[in-house]
C-alpha cells in the first residue's frame, strides 16, 4: 500500500474515529494525523493500521485501538513543556503520539523485545524526545519524576501507589482499573495536593493485564488476544479472532 494511500487513511481515521467520536483536543488530533501507525505494527498488519480496532503485534501483545490512544492522550490534558510517563510502551505508537504533544516522554515496557523494537522505531522516525526502557512499569521511572501526565496501557487491580507518588501536583494519571484482568473502567486520577487525589471514571474499557509488583501476578489469567505477527494470508482471520473493538464511550 502506497504512502499516499496510508496518509489518506490516517486522515480519514482521525476525522471519523477520533474527532467523529468527540475528541476535540487539537494537539491530540494533530499528533495522530502525523504519526504513521503502520510503522508501529508488523509489516503484515500495515494495511490494517487505520482500522477501528486493536491489532496483534510482537510478543503476543496488541497495539491499542486508535480511539483509545486518543482518548487517553486527551484525558491527560498535556501542554508542550510537560513530562509524561507511559507504562506499557508496546510497539511505541502511543509514545510517538505523546511525543508530538508533550516535551518529554519516558516509556516503560516489560517485554525486552518490544522495548528494543519501540526504541528502534522511535529513533529511526526521529522522535528524539521519547525514550523507552525495559522494566516493571508498575514501579514507574523515579529518575524522571515528577510527571505531569502518566498513561498506563494495561489494566490493573488498583492504581499503583508508586505511580501516584510520581505524579506532579496538578498532574493527571490515566489507567484502566478492574477487579479482574479483563474487565476495567478507565480512571483519571488528578493529584490536587501533596496528599490528595481526585478520581473519575471515563468509561468501560478492556486492556491486557498490568503485570508487575503493583499489578497482577504473572500467573494470573492471560489476555485472550492474538499471539504472533501473522502472515498476510492469515491476517484477516486472526484479526477477526483477536480484535476487541470498542463502541462509542458515553
Q: At what angle do helices 3-13 and 26-34 cross, to 10 degrees?
A: 160
Contact 144, 177 (CB under 8 A): no
Q: What is the 3-state secondary structure (H, E, C) of 189-249?
A: EEECCCCCEEEEEEEEECCCECECCCCECCCCCCCCCCCCCCCCCCHHHHHHHHCCCCCCC
Is 2 catalytic? The answer is no
d(CA 130, CA 121): 11
Q: What are the start-end ranges of the E strands in the chain? A: 55-57, 61-63, 83-87, 104-109, 130-134, 147-152, 167-180, 183-191, 197-205
User: Which among 2, 64, 91, 99 is annotated as catalytic?
Assistant: 64
Cα angle for residues 99, 103, 109 (degrees, 5° grid): 50
User: Could you list the active site residues?
Assistant: 64
Amino acid at each position: 500500500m502506497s504512502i499516499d494511500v496510508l496518509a489518506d487513511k490516517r486522515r480519514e481515521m482521525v476525522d471519523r474515529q477520533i474527532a467523529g467520536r468527540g475528541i476535540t483536543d487539537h494537539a491530540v488530533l494533530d499528533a495522530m494525523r502525523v504519526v504513521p501507525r503502520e510503522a508501529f505494527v508488523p509489516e503484515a498488519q500495515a494495511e490494517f493500521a487505520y482500522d477501528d480496532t486493536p491489532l496483534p503485534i510482537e510478543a503476543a501483545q496488541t497495539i491499542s485501538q486508535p480511539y483509545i490512544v486518543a482518548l487517553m492522550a486527551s484525558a491527560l490534558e498535556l501542554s508542550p513543556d510537560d513530562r509524561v510517563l507511559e507504562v506499557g510502551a508496546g510497539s511505541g505508537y502511543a509514545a510517538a503520539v505523546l511525543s508530538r504533544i508533550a516535551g518529554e516522554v519516558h516509556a516503560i515496557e516489560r517485554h525486552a523485545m518490544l522495548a528494543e523494537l519501540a526504541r528502534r522505531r522511535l529513533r529511526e522516525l526521529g522522535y528524539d524526545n521519547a525514550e523507552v526502557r525495559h522494566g516493571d512499569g508498575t514501579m514507574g521511572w523515579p529518575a524522571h519524576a515528577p510527571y505531569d501526565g502518566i498513561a498506563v496501557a494495561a489494566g490493573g487491580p488498583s492504581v499503583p501507589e508508586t505511580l501516584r507518588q510520581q505524579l506532579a501536583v496538578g498532574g493527571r494519571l490515566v489507567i484502566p482499573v478492574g477487579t479482574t484482568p479483563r474487565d476495567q473502567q478507565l480512571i483519571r486520577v488528578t493529584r490536587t495536593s501533596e496528599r490528595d487525589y481526585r478520581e473519575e471514571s471515563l468509561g468501560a474499557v478492556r486492556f491486557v493485564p498490568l503485570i508487575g509488583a503493583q499489578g497482577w501476578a504473572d500467573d494470573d489469567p492471560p489476555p485472550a488476544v492474538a499471539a504472533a505477527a501473522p502472515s498476510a494470508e492469515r491476517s484477516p482471520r486472526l484479526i477477526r479472532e483477536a480484535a476487541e473493538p470498542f463502541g462509542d464511550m458515553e
